[in-house]
Chain A
Amino acid sequence: MKKPGLRQYRSFAALIFFIFVFAAFIVTDETISPLLANIFKYSQIIPLVITVSTGFTLLSLIAILLILLMTIIFGRVYCSVLCPFGILQDILGRIRKKKIKYRARRVKIIIPSLLVALLIFSVLIKENIALVFLDPFSNFGRIISGVFLTLISNSVNLTAGSGIMNKLNIVEPMTGRELSFMFIYGTVTLGFLYYFVGKNGRLFCNYLCPAGAALAFVSKFSKFRVSIDQHSCIGCGACEKFCKSGCIDTKQKQIDNSQCVLCFNCIDICPSESIKYSTSITTKSIPAPDESRRNFLFSAALFGINLSPEQFRLAGIDTLRSKIPVYREFAVCPPGSLSYDNFLEKCTACQLCVSACPTGVLDASFSDYGFQNIFKPRLDFAKSYCNFDCVLCSEICPTGAIMPIRDEVKKLTRLGKAVLIEKNCVVFTDKKDCGACAEHCPTKAVRMVDKDGLRVPVLDNRYCIGCGACEYACPTKPYKSIYVDGLIRHESAEKLKEEKIRHIQTDDFPF
């Protein structure tokens, strides 16, 4: 048995970090989720860059500087230990085959240059569609949340409901994700990743990742680096075959440190122990790579199929169907996101809030904000509603798209306005009491009043905060009788104040 070396230590560290980030996208516990999210909140480059560029925060800037400092000393440790998407690729490669001979390619300098330019450009013009698709963290989040959380929550809920399990009370039902286009999108991304990882190693990290590209420029000058001992090397070429990022040139016995993601496969495989990770500097510049042909387009996998925009089913012996379709002009963005401007500019659609949302009302949008903002979450009142006493999404958002908001402020923040469609409502159409909307309304913006022997809904939007409880609870099918239309800029709502009810205590019974 070989003594564990750098490769094993790195794998171990990466795995530990990976488990925490993975868990943050799976665990939907209100106390644990923010803890997990905070562990890596200041470790992901693209979210940090967005935070710093859009609303300066000192901590985020310090975090970026620390990552750069770390890179200039140790090389791209970020890619090997702190990037969950990179680690996911390593895990996929490992699953595919224990030892893969990669056909990774050397990268021309033009590619990282373009990627860095794209990053700067996106930040400057405040349009992050490119980052949404290229940010490794958000890609990771979409896969874990879209595929794994969907699978886990659905199977948990299947078992939770089935006889034996709940009699033993082993499994509790959990709020997770329904099967949606995110599942297909995530699966397709995962499939592409699996294919290319097995063939070309960390192709994404050197060809598509803006963070990797930026670090490539820094790690060119790093103090510690992987290098080949020119004298003891027997030129067998094993290291080149097992290199994930195609940064080794066996003929020249050179390693391109800017491309190296520090997986240490080479050190592990070298039969003559000629490769070392140390401060020894071999300054001989490396000739530019001779070829750079393959370019794969992740964007081919970008468009999934929207499974179910409007879910409804008719069951039982319903006597009436509502007739007026609901036309929602604006989707509702989460509390704390302030406005479309703020939210859409900063959100990279990592789905962390979607995973953590205790009620499951947050879900990836398809075209609600326009196609250029695909995947960015909105409140889906067909699924649930925003809990009155909850600000969890604002506590965990890594980019500041959802800004921290205090509980009492959130309770008076209007995300949208309710609209009542009397022509759909059973109280008017069937002349029968219902009251589901008023029942759920936490602010009494909608309340039931006496009219012609019935209890009739009356809406006062001064108090409405757009939580969507009324819309979710409204029972009419196929169209709701009350819905929330989003606001592109959140507003302040009024608080309904009522006198304390006076009660004369008697010892007597009224019967």
Chain B
Amino acid sequence: MRRRDFIYTSVLAGAALSTIGLSRTVLAGGEIPDLVAVRNGDPDIMFEKAIAELGGMKKFVRPNQRVVIKPNIGWDVSPERAANTNPRLVARIIKHCLDAGAKEVVVFDNTCDNWKKCYSNSLIEKYVNDAGGKMVPGNSEGYYQTVKIPAGSRIKDAKVHELILDSDVFINVPILKSHGGARLTVSMKNLMGIVWDRGYWHRNDLHTCIAEFSTFRKPDLNIVDAWNVMQRNGPRGLSEADTVMMKSLLISRDMVTADTAAAKLLGFEAADVRYIEEAAKLGVGRKDLEKLNIRKIIV
């Protein structure tokens, strides 16, 4: 029943989104920007500015909806190491969702290191609980349901965490980092944390799997934490020496747009990162930043 509901709502949502997309192209430079980029503030403050620019969280979260937030909580390291999404940012997002009337805000990641240690040492667990959200484990196969990926050639199906399937709103909150294999990790790469078997991706052309899986469900919002950024040795990092204080934040409803802009922050072009190229070709989103409506804010 739930799944049918989900499919129904997502079809509706998809339809709604594409209509918005259409009207936007018509009204070029209209109300809702494709990308909001903020600089020089604290993560939570930059988020405040950015979401206001998008018309507030009420545009994305309706009363009584369930919201799932997917930060990067992959590693058992402290926040200064910038391997996990900034906890203050996650907490502020939860606050906005609850203020918009969300019935429940749940947070999870299929972590790489031991999940309990990741949840606690990233401080995300503490901040989420304090903000009124709920941490849910992601480390047991039982939580994951098999879904088909219609556009998939290398990855035809995947087991996805049921919170993604059951929730009304999906907010993707990656942290921008360098990545040994994929070069960098942002929005699309962050979705590896909603699937069960990542090993399959790694041995079957990582870039193509990331791109193809991105056609499965587009997050309603992608909020890229680029406040403190791991510029080398990612995604785990070796020490704080790997990080630089960029004090930036990006929000987009389009993962390709968000990832292209984030790549530039790290000194990459979309062409350097094969999964961004492939996702753009699959129609996941747009990488032609110069043609998009970008709102830039300096705090």
Contact = CB atoms under 8 A, between A and B. Distances in A.
Interface of A: 157-158, 160-163, 166, 169, 172-173, 175, 315-320, 358-359, 387-390, 426, 430, 432-436, 438-444, 447-448, 455, 473, 475-477, 496, 498-501, 503, 505, 507, 509-511
B217 interface: no
A511 B37 contact: yes
6 contacts: A158-B142, A359-B114, A387-B76, A455-B180, A503-B246, A509-B37
B181 interface: yes
Interface of B: 37, 39-40, 76, 112-114, 116-117, 121, 134, 136-137, 139-143, 154, 156-157, 162, 179-183, 197-208, 231-233, 235-236, 238-247, 260-261, 264-265, 267, 274, 289, 294, 296, 298
Nearest to B157: A316
Classify the secondary structure of A's interface with B: loop
A510 B201 CA distance: 31
Contact of B236 (A161, A440, A476, A511): A440
B205 A430 contact: yes
Given A358-B116, A498-B238, A511-B294, 20 more contacts: A160-B137, A160-B143, A161-B140, A166-B136, A169-B134, A173-B139, A173-B142, A387-B113, A434-B202, A436-B181, A498-B233, A498-B241, A500-B240, A500-B241, A503-B245, A509-B264, A510-B267, A511-B260, A511-B261, A511-B264
A81 B298 CA distance: 70
Contacts of A318: 200, 203-204
B143 A433 contact: no
Nearest to B290: A511
Contact of B238 (A157, A175, A444): A444
B contact face: mostly helix, strand, loop, or mixed: mixed
Given A358-B114, A498-B241, A173 B264 contact: no
Given A160-B140, A442-B236, A317 B245 contact: no
A359 B118 CA distance: 12
Nearest to B246: A503
B200 A358 contact: no
A389 B247 contact: no
Contacts of B141: 161
B134 to A, nearest CB: 7
A430 B202 CA distance: 11
A507 B299 CA distance: 10
A476 B139 CA distance: 21
Given A436-B202, A498-B242, A503-B244, A162 B142 contact: yes
A433 B114 contact: no
A169 B138 CA distance: 12
Nearest to A361: B114
A358 B117 contact: yes
B122 to A, nearest CB: 13
B200 A157 contact: no
B195 to A, nearest CB: 12
Name, among A175, A501, A507, the residue most crowded by chain B CB atoms within 10 Å (CB to CB). Answer: A501
Contacts of B162: 163, 166
A62 to B, nearest CB: 36
Contacts of B294: 511
Contacts of A503: 231, 244-246
A158 B143 CA distance: 10
A473 B111 CA distance: 12
Nearest to A358: B114
B241 to A, nearest CB: 4
A476 B200 CA distance: 9
